[in-house]
Amino acid sequence: MINNAGISYRGTVEHMDEASEMHQMNTNYLSPMALIRLALPYMRKRGRGKIINISSVSGMLAMPTMGSYSASKYALKGQANLCGMKCGLSV
């Protein structure tokens, strides 16, 4: 499975509105996680599977005007690492 969705709104913390922040979190983190949860039972049943998350350097390095974007990418990276360890699949 390949997760390749991404959206970025630039703005400092005080200039980012909640709707834009939630849209980024939904697109960049919550939606890929929902798809992973749907795919895992089938991958386990087959005894194999790969999950590829197309991400960004922002998932490792935060930038001043991209805090919400970086947070969403950090979250996906963290969950993917955990999923790889706990699920026994390639992530």
Active site residues: 69
User: Rounded CA gap, 9 and 20, in Å?
Assistant: 7
Instruction: Please give the structure tokens belonging to residue 18.
Output: 């909640």
